[in-house]
Amino acid sequence: MQLSLVGINHRTAPVAIREKAAIRTGKLDDSLSRLGRYVDHGIILSTCNRTEVYTTDGDGRRNEEGSLDFLKTHLETSDTDLSQYTYILKDKEAVAHLFQTTCGLDSMIIGEYEVLGQVGQALESAERIKMTNLPLRQLFQGAIRTGRRVREETGISKNALSVSSVAVDMATRVVGDLAKCRMLVIGAGEAGRLVAKAAKDRGVASILIASRTQERAAMLTEALGGTPISLGNLAGEMHTCDIIVTCADAPHWIVSADHVAAAMKLRSGSPMVIIDIAVPRNVEPAVAEIDNVYLYNIDGLIQISDQNHQQREGEIEKAVEIIMNEIAEFNAWWQMLEVRPVVSALMKKAEEIRRAQLDKTLKKLGSLSEEDHKSLEAMTKSIVTKILREPVRYLKANGDSNGSAEMVRELFRLPGEKPK
């Protein structure tokens, strides 16, 4: 059995490509169902930094092609265009990548906590659509356990930055004192909550929170302060805001160039900072061409990301040690999973031969006491166990990395069972 990972992330593709690959939370189940047309078992991990497809099967090549075909259809692009941005990892490399990702080491903001929950949601969705199998379930559960350990046993996430808090810091660099600023947050989900909290902690004068559902915006403002508004009232409020941060889960632009141009006419030359941390993006790119408007998207956080990496260098080393130990445990389990059917089939065949030969011998020997029967039974079992002990031990220690399991299967003409 082989594990394959096909993905696109912030290191291989700009936000313009990642937003096309991104799968909104509400659409994940549908996407998993579509993935099922290409592969038997798979899990999709989609965040603002990445869209990755994890699959397992006896034919790794088939899974890679299936995952690529799924992404190609999802992106509505050609093989040539897709190959520029995708990466393919197999077996141990794929395991290491997922564990590092879940621990926040592959994120734009090192140590960010949100990805741990996103990995858990990816597993839950795949379980719901019945796209998981034992290896995938064990892989993701191991990654989640490791992510929790790293955050509990190291300081990687202590006072950790998030994309949301970095967005507020970036806005502060441009406008200066937040105490004189009015901020509009578009999106009342977890990212919106973190933006509003970071802005409040840094002393922003006032906050407006807009959401598709007025109830969610009202709940957030009740908890953190601020004023809820509807998305339909954006045009009427935008000109009053010095900073706009967008993080809504939407399939299209929420803030258009026309909206911003109209707002700027009412601002008497005062600048406006717009930070779009949503993937797909919420703000029309043409907004950047409007005078006195400073537009940033999630890829603009790279400089702060580099500083964050340097600050957490010592904690990264501690995290890597934990990750390596957990990976070693998973790989040992994986090896056992690979050879378990072979070991089971070998032991079963040996027992069938032992039983058949013993029965023949007992018929020839005629009448024997019950004690003699037990002695012959014990002796033949002991012979079989001792003959197979070293081969079985070798298989368990080495798995099928060198083809030994398959060789044993062929030598003893064992059935080709695979783990479910």
Backbone φ and ψ of 342, nearest 5°? -70, -45
Q: Which two tokens stand for residue 351?
A: 């027992």
Other CB atoms within 10 A of residue 218 CB: 17
Contact of 270 with 291, CB cutoff 8 Å: no
How buried is 80 (Cβ within 10 angstroms: 0-12 exposed, 13-18 middle, 19+ buried)? Answer: exposed
Please tell me the number of Cα atoms within 13 Å of 131 on its side-chain side: 26
- Other Cβ atoms less than 10 A from the Cβ of 361: the count is 11
Do residues 218 and 228 touch, judged by C-beta distance below 8 A? yes
Nearest to 108 by CA among 322, 313, 308: 308
Given the structure tokens 């509009």, which residue do they identify? 184
> Alpha-carbon distance 64 to 73, whole Å?
14
Q: How many CB atoms lie within 10 A of CB 196?
A: 27
Under a CB-based contact definition with an 8 Å cutoff, are residues 137 and 127 in contact?
A: yes
**Which strands make up the sheet holding 87-90, listed edge to edge?**
42-46, 50-57, 2-9, 87-90
CB crowding 233-268: b at 16 or more within 10 Å, else e: ebeebbbebbbbbbbbbbeebbbbbebbeebbeebe
103 tagged catalytic: no
In 3D space, the residue among 85, 79, 1, 90 whose CA is nearest the CA of residue 51 turns out to be: 85
Of the candidates 48, 103, 181, 241, the residue annotated as catalytic is 48
Q: Where are the alpha helices (DSSP H) in 227-369?
A: 234-237, 257-265, 302-311, 313-365
Residues recognised as catalytic: 48
